[in-house]
Amino acid sequence: MAGRRSLKSDAVKRTTVDAYARGGSLSIAARVAGISVDSLTRWRDEDSTFAEALEQARAQKAHEYLKLLDSPEHRDAKQMRWFLGTMFASDYSQQKRIELTGWGRASSRRQHRRARSSRSRHG
């Protein structure tokens, strides 16, 4: 019994790159092209030309958004900044470091409440 027929063709790859170029994620590009994200990722990893086309499409979209952000008549800069921060997080998002130290604080609050309630009962 033969395996499944591959959907990999130049037309499907072009559709994927085009969807990605319009600002979609890899997941959206895969859905538009009618393939799974796993297939898209595998093709990208196996085919350096396809991988380069995807990266070029992504860079071109970022460049278009940057040009629009520079234009004085553009009114929706907030949306474009969000897009750049989301799609190109390593380049455009603000990195925030959050430290969680809850154990000590939670027990301190509990101890404070207990002390306060015992004072009110005694006095």
Structure pTM?
A: 0.57
pLDDT band, very low/low/confident/very high, at 94 (cuts 50, 70, 90): low
Q: What is the DSSP string of 57-88?
A: HHHHHHHHHHHHHH-TT---HHHHHHHHHHHT
Q: What is the pLDDT of residue 34?
A: 93
Angstrom distance (rounded) from CA 31 to CA 19: 9
Q: Please provide the average confidence, as pLDDT, over all residues in the chain.
A: 77
54 CB neighbour count, 10 Å cutoff: 21
